[in-house]
Structure 1
Amino acid sequence: MIPTVHVDRDHRGQGRYTLTDTGSGRVWGVCAEVEGLFREPLRGTYELFGWVPDGAEVRGWVGSRIWLVPEDRALDAWLLEDAESLGQHGGADGLVLTGLDDYEGPPEGHRAPVRLHDGYRWLGSCREFARVLPPEQVEPPLVLRGLAPSDRLRRALATGTRRTLDLEEAWLEIRDDRGEPLTDRLLRPKVRTWQPSSCRTDMIDLELDGYVAPVPGYAQPVWERWLTGPPDTAGAWAALETRQRGAWLDLVRERGCRLKHQDRQSGHAYELDGRHITDEPGLYLALGEAVNGPGGYFGGCLDALVDCLRGNFGYTAPATLLWRDATTAREHLSRVLAPEGEQYDLVALVLEVLTNGGMHVTFR
């Protein structure tokens, strides 16, 4: 969440990016351009030995969330996010996968068989896997170009000691072209260098180390669309593939949780366009737009949906929801897989949550 900030009076300029100290809420500086925001994050690489696919070969992008389930169930399933297949290794019976594993990736040294699924279907199994350690990589800096620095930042740079150049923890707050808060990124920035900017003599280009969460390339078109402002027509996400829909949902969630929604009176009738609900992000995007219009948010998972039904997100119970083309969601989401591989009906669970929250659902 973007914290309340106290902008220095002399630096109330308009800019897309604001660097704000998380402790005091004071602004370090404001700029209109950032380099290094969009780049591929460092990925883990795994070789799966004795790979046996369940059906088609696993090629290219595999899925947003790939679960590795130990066949002996001695340990919980592990998550590999945004996984890609590099294919078989050297013609052997192995498969090489890359992905983001910082959250709850596989433990080092595990040698027992595992099965893999993407939340929708089983992909295959292997007798063991090993993490391939990548060569040492240096994180590129985050460059804030044309930054209007606060007096506090100017003093820190003028002092120039290791202590003053360690900004400890900061939010990079990001606004759209309308000046509305869109999202933020948490940084632990240390000043690498700075120089006068070519934009104006009173501005600088500031290079920071310690950037935490880059935006991957596949999400960049989604961000660029949202940076122009929220969509004014429903279904702008419909043509996107699943991981881009996930990126769209992330921005919808972050923006939606900042907005102050005016709850409608009870008895309101909503209408859900179900034609494009072919995956889980699509389900929550369509539901959000049904309740709160284009780009609207109304939950991004079951627990969040429960919270939204309690109020403060545009909804007051009781109400009705007409779900059009529900067969699409039932076809794609009635037999999904939990992390450990158990099959469940996501559509049925969503309907149960809606009903318990006072939403009477009908279909057409």
Structure 2
Amino acid sequence: MRGDRGQREPGRYALTDSEDGRVWGVCAEVEGLFNEPRRAICELLGWVPDGAEVRGWVGHRVWLVPEDRTLDPWLLEDAESIGGRRQTDALVLTGRDDWMGPPEGHRAPVRLHDRYRWLGSCREFTRVMPHETTAPSLVLRGLSPSGRLRRALATGTRRALDLDEARLWIRDDNGRPLADRLLRPKIRAWRPSAHGPDLIDLELDAALDEPLPGHALPIWDRWLAGPPQTPGVWACLDTRQREAWLDLVRERGCRLRHQGRPAGSAYELDGRHITDEPSLFLALGEAVNGPGGYFGGCVDALADCLRGTFGYTAPATMLWRDIAPAREHLSHVLTPEGEPYDLIALVLEVLAEGHMRVTFA
């Protein structure tokens, strides 16, 4: 976390041993937490768009559907278009590549969609992996080291400085758990910190299992200050930022102990801002669990929440105010294979199966 983002509480970050949970140290700032994940490059030769030209950010989940239907579609996450090759008919996309595909050396035609609409097709697909780059280090600034860490630093051997597997726990400014990241850190360097006596700046040679992209930084800054106090704070965000907001709501929500409301409770859902899939689940989460609340991030997770310990006790009722935007934007979405279905009808069906009776206003 950058140190120029406002006042930080001393114990915002805690580095712990992932096996026994013992703390290596706590600090106020972490540099290098936000780094762009490694992205694959896809070149689509003979690109023919279905409608508007594909530019800029394309979608959180873009599916590539091979013409050969014996092959499964594969996923390009957080896909961006970097335009076409000069004097060619190719479109170039980058994104986080699905580890399930495509088949090695696949160059046959594919068709693309972003779950909302078909984007286009190409006669030949080429996947190019970027050059390997050295993972940036993490610097824990103003770290208050435990006795165990001090002994490791005093020993100074390679074995002592290899922390094996660790977890970086992240709390908001109220001290509430927000998220965590798994690390396999080796201590690269340490020095006295300008943050105070007996504190150190600890530099780790550590690759994050789940790096945080730069576009999520404003969302994290908002949540690190504490959870929202009013519903719908996310409504002004675009789809990409809403996805980042939902990711954080999911991480936090799965760690909280939810106080279950009694059977027969009545909920109210504000549907005015449901124009994409993340906003649907953000609105559902806030309807059940209040501002910033979580109640599933996809249909399967929603079904789990209806059966689990996420603040809901069956039976209950929900008044869905203004369902028109949701029906307009989400009644015709696409499966990975590109088959259309009605997401709103499916969600209403899942809610009914969970004994949530929905009415409309």
Q: Does TM-score exceed 0.5, indicating one fold?
A: yes
CA contact (8 A) 2:243 2:278 kept: yes
Aligned partner of 1:231 among 228, 250, 275: 228
Deviation at 1:347, TM superposition (A): 0.5
Find the counterpart in structure 2 of residue 66 from structure 1.
62
Amino acid across the alignment from 1:113: P
Tell me the equivalent position of 1:123: 119
- Aligned equivalent of 2:53: 57
Instruction: State the distance in 2 between where 1:328 and 1:233 align.
Output: 21
Following TM superposition, by how much is the alpha carbon of 1:14 offset from its aligned partner in structure 2, in angstroms? 4.4
Distance 1:111 1:134 in 2: 18
Per-residue CA deviations over 1:188-232 (Å, capped at 9, x if unaligned) read 111111111111231111111122222111111100000000000
CA contact (8 A) 2:40 2:94 kept: yes
Alignment counterpart, residue 353 of structure 2, candidates 346, 351, 356: 356
Q: How far has the Cα of 1:134 moved from its partner?
A: 2.6
Pick closer, same or farther for the CA change 1:254–1:134 going to 2, 3 Å.
closer
Matched, 1:270 2:257: no
Compute the displacement of 1:185 (Å): 0.8
The 5 A counterparts of 1:1-364 are 14-101=10-97, 103-212=99-208, 213-364=210-361
Q: Give the gaps of 5 or more residues in structure 2.
A: 1-8
CA spacing shift, 1:258–1:136, aligned 2, 3 Å = closer
What count of residue pairs does the alignment treat as equivalent? 352
Q: Supply the AA of the counterpart residue of 2:145.
A: P
**C-alpha distance in 1, partners of 2:68/2:42?**
20
Separation of aligned partners in 2, 1:284 and 1:203: 42
Could you tell me the TM-score, scaled by structure 2's length? 0.95
Amino acid at match of 1:263: G
The one-letter code sitting in structure 2 at the alignment partner of 1:86 is: I
Tell me the distance in 2 between the aligned counterparts of 1:234 and 1:167.
Answer: 41
Please say if residues 39 and 129 of structure 2, whose CA atoms lie closer than 8 Å, have aligned partners that are also in contact: no
Aligned to 2:5: none
Q: Which residue number corresponds to residue 3 of structure 2?
A: none
Q: Deviations over 1:292-320 (max 9, x none)?
A: 11111111111111111124211111111
- Please say which of residues 30-39 and 128-137 is displaced more in the overlay: 128-137
> Which residue identity does 2:23 align to in structure 1?
V
Moved over 4 A (4+): none
Alpha-carbon distance, 1:102 to partner: 5.4
* Shift in Å, 1:272: 0.4
Q: In the alignment, is the contact (CA less than 8 A) between 2:77 and 2:98 conserved in 1?
A: no
SS, match of residue 163 in structure 1 = helix
The DSSP-based 3-state class of the residue aligned with 1:84 is strand
> Following the alignment from structure 1 to structure 2, what is the Cα–Cα distance between the partners of residues 66 and 26?
41
Greater mean deviation of Cα atoms: 233-242 or 252-261:
252-261
RMSD: 1.3
SS of structure 1 residue aligned to 2:235: coil
Query: Is this contact kept in 1: 2:246–2:278, CA < 8 A?
Result: yes
- Matched to 2:87, the amino acid is G
Tell me which amino acid in the other structure corresponds to 1:301: C
Look up the SS of the partner of 2:164 in the other structure. coil
Residue deviations 1:48-67, cap 9 Å, x none? Answer: 11111111110011000111
**Partner SS, residue 24 of structure 2:** strand
Using the alignment, how far apart are the partners of 1:302 and 1:243 within structure 2?
19
